[in-house]
Amino acid sequence: MRSRSTIIPGLVLALVVTACTGSGNRDGTVPETATSSAAQDPTTTTSEPNGVPTEPITTAEVAETAITTPDGYASTEDIDTSALELIDIGLGWVPDAIVAETAYDILSTPSNTLVSIVSVIPAAEWRGAPDLPEMLVGLLSRSPSTPDESGIVETETAEGLPMFLWSTGDGFLIALADEEEAARAYLRRREALRVPIAVWADGSCLMVPGGDFPYAPFPMDFVVPCTSPHNAEVIAAEFAATTAPSFDADTIEFDRTFACDQAYSTTFGPDIDHRPGLVTYMPDEAEWDRGDRYRACVVSISTKGTTEVFEGAMADREDLVWNLKPGDCLPSTIKEVPLECSSVHVHEFMGLAVVPFDKWPSEGDAAFDAACERYLDHVVDGPTEVGVWAYGLGPYEFAQGARSVRCLAFAIGDAAPTLVGGSFTSGWRLIGDTVSV
């Protein structure tokens, strides 16, 4: 799961559009280029000491290695027409908008029943979402669907054929067979053999397609040498970040933010004074239940709404100080070069506030936001309510004695930040729709 400073894409809207406009394989045939043999072992690469692969893997390889043959199953050359038809149904069911790569294989069970498997690697912004199969089934079937005890989601094709989906951690598999128990049994076997996927390593540089960060820090095909073009860097990561016996969201959240704040401050200086945006990762409950215990801290730089691509270590750059003065305005992505408030924007920097407590508050963000509320006295009336929130102070810096936060004002439309023009302190107007921040 990713958190903080990340724009979450409109998954449901995108899928509604694609569900109405087309399916994954428009010509109705199985593309030969998608064929993959079942892999016995996960893809491996030779690596340098910093964890950067010397031979980067590709998204296509990830799709292929998602299909494995557990004991009793075998990839088969004895492919009949019905098995190929099931592959085509699986490929055609997936909306184009979420797909980066697909692969398929025909497996034979110990009783010689053929099972058709489609492996889907989603587009970057949906990589690693553990509940993506559930969301897809609910949206495309127009009815809710709950995974069973093995994490398998069942749905039905337009032809009335049972179809089963299971998250690999990086993407998901679709299993179909003329005998539905054979398809379900394969995914159950995969769940029984599941092991956590390796997390990005400290110091890894990433080329994230479109700057759309995935949900979990697993896509090793994003890792590139730091001397080559990249748009993100991993400043801290752990494969097993906790030994806690059970899932506790509050504890994991605090541990994650503390570790990432410490890594950020060590690399750049206080978050409040430096430009790189921080995206942090920890498992949510669904990921925890499948065995994930990772933590990762990733930084990138956004300019005019676009994630910058650069070469070399970000920490070596000399243009990373984030200088703001009261009255500067910012777009939806926070760590930007300031805009004139006459431009379309979302936030206005009102000034600094000092939080009045010496112990990290149990109420979390609300306690910090309250320190900024005095700036609302300077806001002139407008077409909707104005809110204010605090930015820039995490638990590590707090433990070091820092108490200042930046106070950012925003217009509230439909319970979300809204595009505006003008200054909140002199005269402003609504410009457009709500945005994700």
- The pLDDT tens digits for 40-59 are 233 333 344 344 445 678 99
Supply the pLDDT for residue 107: 95
Q: Is the pLDDT of residue 435 over 70?
A: no
Element (H, E) at 261: helix 249-267
Strand partners, 283: none
Give the mean model confidence (pLDDT) for residues 312-337. 91
Cα separation, 174 vs 272, whole angstroms: 45
Strand partners, 280: 3, 297
**pTM score > 0.85 for this model?**
no
**Contacts by 320-325, CB closer than 8 A, 24 or more apart:** 320/268, 320/274, 320/275, 320/276, 321/273, 321/274, 321/275, 322/272, 322/273, 322/274, 322/275, 324/349, 324/406, 325/349
Q: Tell me the residue ranges of DSSP E strands in 270-396.
A: 277-281, 295-300, 302-303, 306-307, 329-330, 347-354, 386-391
Give the mean model confidence (pLDDT) for residues 97-102. 93
Give the mean model confidence (pLDDT) for residues 122-151. 89
Count how many Cα atoms sit within 13 Å of the Cα of residue 171 in the half-sphere of its side chain: 27
* Pairing, β 302-303 against β 295-300: unpaired
Supply the pLDDT for residue 329: 96
Supply the pLDDT for residue 23: 25
Q: Is the pLDDT of residue 7 over 50?
A: no
3-state helix, strand, coil in the chain (%, to 5): 25, 25, 45
- The domain spans of the chain are 2-192, 205-316, 329-434
Task: Give yes or no for a contact between 217 and 281, defined as CB atoms under 8 angstroms apart.
Answer: yes
Q: Which amino acid is at 252?
A: I
φ, ψ for residue 298, nearest 5 deg: -125, 140
Residue whose tokens read 């990839």: 75
Give the mean model confidence (pLDDT) for residues 61-86. 90
User: Could you give the percent of the chain with pLDDT greater than 90?
Assistant: 63
